[in-house]
Amino acid sequence: MDIKLLQTFEVAASCENFHQTAETLYIAQPTVTQHIRQLEKELDVALFERVGKRVRLTAAGKRFLSHAKLILSQWHAGAEEMVAWKQGYKETLHIAVSPIIARTSLPSLIHRYTKEHPEVDITIKIADSIDIGLLVQSGQAHLGLSRMVPYESQLATYLMQTDPIVFAVPHYGGDMDAPLPDWEQELLTKRLLTHNHPIYWDPLLTALRQRGFAIRTMGVTHVDVTKRFIEEGLGISFLPRSAILRELFENRFMELPTPGLELPKVASYVVFPNSNLIASGQRFVDILATLYAPLPKVT
Question: What is the reported pLDDT for 176?
Answer: 65
The reported pTM is: 0.69
Question: What is the reported pLDDT for 175?
Answer: 64
Question: What is the reported pLDDT for 262?
Answer: 93
Task: Output the CA angle 285-291-293, nearest 5 degrees.
Answer: 85
Residue pair 95/141 in contact by the 8 Å Cβ criterion: yes
Domains of the chain: 3-72 (1.10.10.10), 87-161+267-298 (3.40.190.10), 163-265 (3.40.190.10)
Residue pair 129/96 in contact by the 8 Å Cβ criterion: no
Question: What is the reported pLDDT for 135?
Answer: 96
Question: What is the reported pLDDT for 201?
Answer: 95
Question: What is the reported pLDDT for 80?
Answer: 75
289: number of CA atoms within 13 Å, CB side? Answer: 9
CA terminus-to-terminus distance, the chain: 52
Residue 38, judged by CB atoms within 10 A of its CB (0-12, 13-18, 19+), counts as middle
pLDDT averaged per 10 residues, the chain (length 299): 91 93 93 94 94 92 93 84 71 93 93 92 93 94 95 93 96 75 94 92 93 92 94 95 93 94 95 93 96 93
Question: What is the reported pLDDT for 180?
Answer: 87
